[in-house]
């Protein structure tokens, strides 16, 4: 009798998670096309910029990686099986501007994992001049993205996730602003993803469709991402000392007219120190490498990353990324 009750409880839990996950995915897809725009509808382009030092250090080949609050921007399914709570801030300094992202990952037993995210890109103050070079005013463009994520693992080998998001591009002005571009634009969108890890296998396969429904025309940041993460099997005497992950992936536009290839690795020493490296092959925007380190101290996790080449190669500001995470 106890065995039957246990089996029924397990089956009920699996069915409940599957129903909630599928309902959330459906709601996300229905929500994505709903947009409202002003100005030129160029909001959302900043969503192509990477978030999270861990992901950057691995060359952004993280669609099949599990756990971590930065996964909310790469593949919502990555937090479906997590049991760790996390709050984090992710900071970046690039030639484009200063980025700050806040995230929270909150798992609930028998229900799934919820995530909250806020991504802000400050493009800096820009002086606006007339034809004679006289300063008319100062404009301050800022981009925002708010996200709500739900993910669950209906069965051990499968994780599903979805994020609904609201994206805004705001332009504020001070001074003589009558003839200056002010206002902004906004739209709604969604990310959906899945991860598959066969039982007993060191391989995880990940798929994600990001920024669906955001932007219009050539400015749309929607992308398809597919990749794999392989955990290298170590000899038994080294299993607790060294953990090595190798990852690779391909990211394309929704029209499949361009693609980038990504590879990366994460080497963990004694479950505390991370050493990362990655490379992005992007014929259109320029290829480049990345390196990163991470350190765990109690419940705090520090991650730092730096990129080389690509769009930031000619900038006067080294592209750096820093993450501070609190995990419990």
At a CB cut-off of 8 Å and minimum separation 6, what does 247 contact?
A: 58, 61, 62, 64, 65, 227, 228, 229, 230, 262, 263, 264, 265, 266
Predicted model pTM: 0.83
Closest CA to 93 of 306, 307, 321, 303: 321
**pLDDT for the residue 28:** 46
**pLDDT for the residue 112:** 95
Neighbours of 327 (CB within 10 A): 18
Neighbours of 195 (CB within 10 A): 29
- E strand or H helix at 211: strand 203-212
**pLDDT for the residue 235:** 85
- Tokens 């739900």 identify what position? 150
Provide the residue-wise pLDDT of the chain in tens; the chain has 328 residues: 444 444 444 445 544 554 454 455 444 444 444 444 334 445 578 899 999 999 999 999 999 998 789 999 999 999 999 999 999 999 999 888 899 999 999 999 889 999 999 999 998 777 766 667 677 677 788 899 999 999 999 999 999 999 999 999 888 877 666 665 566 778 899 999 999 999 889 999 999 999 999 877 667 899 999 999 999 988 888 878 899 999 999 999 988 888 999 999 999 998 899 999 999 999 887 899 999 999 999 999 999 999 987 665 555 667 899 999 999 9
Greatest CA separation found in the chain? 88
Q: Do residues 58 and 278 make contact, with C-beta atoms less than 8 angstroms apart?
A: yes
Q: In the chain, what are the domain boundaries?
A: 2-327
Helix (H, G, I), strand (E, B) or coil at 107: strand
CATH fold of the domain at 2-327: Porin (2.40.160)
Using alpha carbons, list the distances in angstroms from residue 105 to 45, 68, 89, 114, 327.
25, 8, 12, 6, 9
Q: Do residues 114 and 150 make contact, with C-beta atoms less than 8 angstroms apart?
A: yes
**pLDDT for the residue 30:** 43
**pLDDT for the residue 37:** 39
**pLDDT for the residue 14:** 47
| Chain segment 80-103, per-residue pLDDT in tens | 999 999 999 999 998 888 999 999
**pLDDT for the residue 181:** 58
């Amino acid at each position: 009798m106890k065995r039957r009750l246990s089996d029924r409880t397990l089956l009920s839990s699996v069915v409940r998670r599957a129903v909630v996950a599928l309902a959330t995915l459906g709601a996300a897809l229905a929500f994505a096309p709903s947009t409202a725009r002003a100005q030129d509808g160029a909001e959302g382009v900043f969503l192509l910029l990477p978030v999270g030092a861990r992901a950057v250090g691995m060359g952004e080949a993280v669609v099949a990686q599990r756990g971590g609050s930065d996964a909310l921007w790469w593949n919502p399914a990555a937090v479906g099986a997590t049991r760790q709570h996390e709050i984090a801030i992710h900071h970046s300094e690039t030639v484009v501007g200063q980025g700050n992202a806040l995230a929270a990952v909150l798992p609930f037993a028998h229900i799934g994992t919820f995530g909250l995210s806020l991504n802000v890109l400050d493009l800096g103050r820009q002086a606006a001049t007339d034809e004679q070079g006289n300063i008319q005013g100062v404009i301050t463009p800022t981009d925002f993205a708010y996200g709500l994520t739900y993910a669950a693992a209906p069965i051990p080998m499968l994780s599903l996730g979805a994020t609904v998001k609201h994206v805004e591009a705001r332009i504020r002005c001070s001074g003589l602003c009558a003839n200056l571009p002010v206002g902004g634009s906004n739209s709604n969108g969604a990310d959906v993803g899945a991860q598959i890890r066969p039982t007993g296998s060191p391989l995880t396969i990940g798929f994600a469709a990001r920024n669906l429904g955001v932007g219009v025309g050539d400015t749309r940041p929607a992308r398809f991402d597919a990749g794999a993460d392989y955990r290298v099997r170590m000899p038994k005497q080294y299993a607790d000392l060294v953990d090595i992950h190798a990852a690779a992936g391909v990211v394309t536009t929704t029209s499949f007219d361009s693609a980038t290839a990504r590879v990366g690795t994460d080497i963990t020493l004694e479950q505390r120190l991370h050493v990362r490296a990655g490379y992005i092959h992007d014929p259109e925007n320029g290829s480049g490498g990345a390196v990163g380190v991470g350190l765990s101290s109690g419940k705090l996790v520090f991650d730092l990353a730096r990129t080389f080449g690509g769009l930031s190669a000619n900038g006067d500001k080294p592209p750096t990324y820093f993450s501070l995470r609190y995990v419990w």
